Amino acid sequence: MTRLSVNVNKIALLRNARGGNLPNLFQVSKNCEEFGAEGITVHPRPDERHIRYSDVPMLKKLVTTEFNIEGKPTPKFIELVLENNPDQVTLVPDSPGQLTSDHGWNTVEHADFLTDVIGKFKSAGIRVSIFVDAEEEHMEGAKKVGADRIEFYTGPFAEKYTTDREKAVAPFNKCAVLAIEIGIGINAGHDLNLDNLRFFKENIPGLLEVSIGHALVADALYYGLGNTIQMYLRQLQ
């Protein structure tokens, strides 16, 4: 069964809007696990507009499933990850002011940099996933730089899903088959939701984990957090 990791960035964004501790990020993260989530994901950004760097040590202590920290591997981010030793680090190529992730790594162009960074994390016993587009050369590049897994940037799939879902999922399926052949694990995330998740899962062999935040938190406004997590888990069965 594909694991569901809940990205709690939007919970932190709501908290930060008023400067207090409502909603309580740490309690919500614990609740997510109690309701069935199999991981917690955070993506601290340089401007700390949602997850703060200071949130990470407490989450490391609280999370009992799988803790995944994702972000651009700046010196500060690398230090944060090594100090808190999560189960997984997911590397994304975001620019400092970027609203949300919108592309994956060029694993060929940035091979030397990625090899160096990945080596640091793997030496510390941290599993490394890197954010990639559904392009075969970048899958092969991810393997060469030493990544344990890739995380598909699924924005293009979600965008095309409503008009031609078969065409939308085709490049991801092709790359997933290649990933299995070369021995690299498969994660996915971005714009996956209750409408498109089951179809994506059914067409991606070897899908180990999905990280979902924005859509899941939005759905929780209608259905409640516990119900929503169970609804997402059912899509992955």
The CATH number of the domain holding residue 171 is 3.20.20.70
Token readout for 198 is 């089951």
Q: Which domain holds residue 97?
A: 3-235
Is 214 an annotated catalytic residue?
A: no
Is 70 an annotated catalytic residue?
A: yes
pLDDT number for residue 99? 53
Would you say the pTM of this structure is higher than 0.85?
Answer: yes
Q: Which of 66, 70, 151, 209 is catalytic?
A: 70
Is 190 an annotated catalytic residue?
A: yes
Residue 1: pLDDT band with limits 50, 70, 90: confident
pLDDT tens-place string over residues 173-194: 999 999 999 999 999 999 999 9
pLDDT number for residue 119? 97
Q: Which of 33, 43, 138, 209 is catalytic?
A: 43
> Residues 28, 32, 100, 107: what is their CA dihedral angle, to the nearest 10 degrees?
140
pLDDT tens-place string over residues 12-68: 999 999 999 999 999 999 999 999 999 999 999 989 999 999 999 999 999 999 999
Number of domains in the chain: 1
pLDDT number for residue 102? 59
